[in-house]
Copies of this chain bind each other. A is one copy, B any other.
Amino acid sequence: MSRLYLAADDAAAVSLSGSHLTIVIVVAAVALLALAVAGGLVREVLAAPQGTQRMQDISRAVQEGAAAYLTRQFRTLAVFVVLIPFLLYLLPAESTSVAIGRSVFFVIGAVFSALTGFIGMWLAVRGNVRVAAAARESGEKIAMRIAFRTGGVAGMFTVGLGLLGAAIVVFIYKGNAPSVLEGFGFGAALLAMFMRVGGGIFTKAADVGADLVGKVEQGIPEDDPRNAATIADNVGDNVGDCAGMAADLFESYAVMLVASLILGKAAFGTEGLVFPLIVPMIGVLTAIIGIFATAPRTGDRNGMAAINRGFFISAAISAVLVAVAAFAYLPSSFAGLTDVSDGIAAIDSDPRLIAIGAVLIGLVLASAIQVLTGYFTETNRRPVRDIGESSLTGPATVILSGIAVGLESAVYSALLIGGAVYGAFLLGFGNVTVALFAVALAGTGLLTTVGVIVSMDTFGPVSDNAQGIAEMSGDVEGEGARILTSLDAVGNTTKAITKGIAIATAVLAATALFGSFRTAVEFELANASAGVKEALGSFSSFSLSVDSPNVLVGLIIGAAVVFLFSGLAISAVGRAAGRVVFEVREQFRTKPGIMAGTELPDYGRVVDICTRDSLRELATPGLLAVLTPIAVGFALGYAPLGAYLAGAIACGTLMAVFLANSGGAWDNAKKLVEDGHHGGKGSPAHEATIIGDTVGDPFKDTAGPAINPLIKVMNLVALLIAPAVVTYADNGVLRIGVTVVAVGVVVAAVVISKRRSNSIAPANGDTTEQVETEKVSS
């Protein structure tokens, strides 16, 4: 089977020798350097003191809960990692060795994704207590350094493993690397999506459940040790915000590399297969600088200033080094590129300038998103202040103003990302292949900052946990407590920024993957049988033109999947939180000593409930993501499938930013009131903003961030099945069979999850209620 990508040029013949090969080896070496740096950071963090015995006990409980969750999750997901490689092997590929490579690298991608999440979290649950101890004993600078370097390990693993995997694939498979990389990216994205959804449900079920019983019903503070859900809440921060986010950004990194290498080969030939590795390699080096440059200085307004300094220093150095690399490595004309088609060689512009321009667009986009997200979610800016004011008229107006802020901010983010895509498109000067590569390079530009971004992000849950441990143990007071509160606030902002960057990479990667989708479909169309051509009718030459009603229907379904996925994730949190509420209430009832402080609650049971429920709940959204593109492709055809992806990208971008920013704004509106505005803690305004924050929890930490891997999983599934969709266009029986199975499984999953009731209220104990409700007249 010699199928894909061979339309343009003979892949096996792509020369990757001499200097090109040397560079790939250097890239791999830099990737290993990143892992070595991570090792050094682990030693540094672990060497820090761990505080009092009580703090260590609490930390150990969190460690055990987190490890138990991840172990069970990996065991659950193992079935996919075993099953899917076989299915992948059945799909068309250039050769048997490529087919095997794709399956093998699917597993490697999934394992790397899991590993990034696992290592990041492993250190985070150890770093948290050390940050708390440092705040208690050594002051803000040391505490902040430990928190940021704990994050640095996740950052280094993300970029190190991503770059290593891609370099190895290019080294082994050369011209066939793109096909194998699809497997690598798919494995990474699929695992990340499951970790995102599962972790997101866990963390918010525990958080919402703990708040509803603790803060609302019993009137005890957050992180009070009498609340049986507190340990689960802290575990959740780690499995969701930390492991989930690290896996997610690893996936973004891997998929972006996949997209740029696929397109690089078509647009820039051999150089296009190497340059997209050079850019992130530079990013690794500058991330190391950035992580070590992030140290608070006297005169900084707050911790954010130090983090921003690290980010912008590394971004600026990246820009300079990328320009140097482009001039050193790329030729001055398209004709000078190795192994390109005649059409590309005839382009009359300078590939070096295109490459530099595209990478710069990515870096500017990263900075712009940082500023925009800050505007919409920081406490001292107008949107959050407005939401804070609306708390004076009650929770309904808090919800409405937060939703309005979220909807609007989504538009500005979408316009920024759209502007970056359009800017990169213009760099193609009318050649769509080059334009798509420019989009992909903008993505790699964005990703040069990923090492620092992941460090920034992991900083969030580590500080959050440190504060939790401090509060539960009661051993950190005065200055130490103040330090931890300030670190926690910085963590909230970094988390919001990371989400913005993550969704931007998703759009750039997905746009770029469209190019591969087109190549795959066009190759099959060119080689299609007469029967297939007849079955395709006017679509026998490539078109995703949305004026055709069937294509528009595909687009609507793509947008709809984003809505359904979000709705399912939000109601899954509701269901799981309901069971946490019930359990905590039950413990308060059966163990009266808990409230008095004479008896310890059973923390483990809540962790168990969250673990079991989140793993059960992740199946439906997961199946939806994988099977819907298959159903659309086989039932409606390749053109509706392509439009489906476009619909999912457009709607997904907006929905992801809307959910993330509404949630972030509500969170900080609550902090604003807690800082003493509009009546301060305990006032009706505070209660109104707590309600806003609770609504925002599953928005910003479950549904919103999971849309990022969702988009990429769907894109990669579509890309992988595209040849089969075209080839079997005239095989009605097969098409109907695949569609029926795919739709049937999704519908069954949705129905089963509905059976578990949409309500947040406990499943038992409301039977009389149910009967009563039945009697209500229509």
Contact = CB atoms under 8 A, between A and B. Distances in A.
A194 to B, nearest CB: 20
Interface stretch (A53-61, A138-146, A643-651): A643-651
A752 to B, nearest CB: 15
Contact of A379 (B559, B690, B776): B776
Contacts of A511: 549, 552
A643 B760 CA distance: 40
Interface stretch (A98-106, A129-137, A360-368, A381-389): A381-389
A403 B407 CA distance: 14
Contact of A404 (B382, B414, B537, B758): B758
A394 interface: yes
23 contacts: A302-B777, A382-B758, A385-B770, A387-B759, A393-B760, A396-B694, A401-B760, A405-B758, A414-B560, A417-B556, A418-B556, A422-B549, A422-B553, A425-B549, A432-B538, A545-B545, A546-B646, A552-B649, A555-B555, A556-B649, A558-B650, A559-B650, A651-B654
A658 interface: yes
A778 B381 CA distance: 8
Nearest to A399: B695
Contacts of A563: 407-408, 410-411, 414, 654, 658
A544 interface: yes
A400 B698 contact: yes
Give the size range of A's interface with the partner.
35 or more
Nearest to A639: B545
A642 B551 CA distance: 13
A96 to B, nearest CB: 30
Interface of A: 208, 212, 216, 301-302, 304, 378-380, 382-383, 385-390, 392-397, 399-401, 403-408, 410-411, 414-415, 417-419, 421-422, 424-425, 430, 432, 435-436, 439, 507, 511, 514-515, 517-518, 537-538, 542-550, 552-553, 555-561, 563-564, 566-568, 570-571, 573-574, 577-578, 581, 636, 642-643, 646-647, 649-651, 653-654, 658, 672, 675, 677-678, 690-691, 694-695, 698, 757-761, 766, 769-770, 772-774, 776-778
A52 to B, nearest CB: 30
Contacts of A555: 546, 555, 646-647, 650
A549 B407 contact: no
Contacts of A677: 769, 772-773, 776
A507 B548 CA distance: 13
A549 B379 contact: no
A357 to B, nearest CB: 15
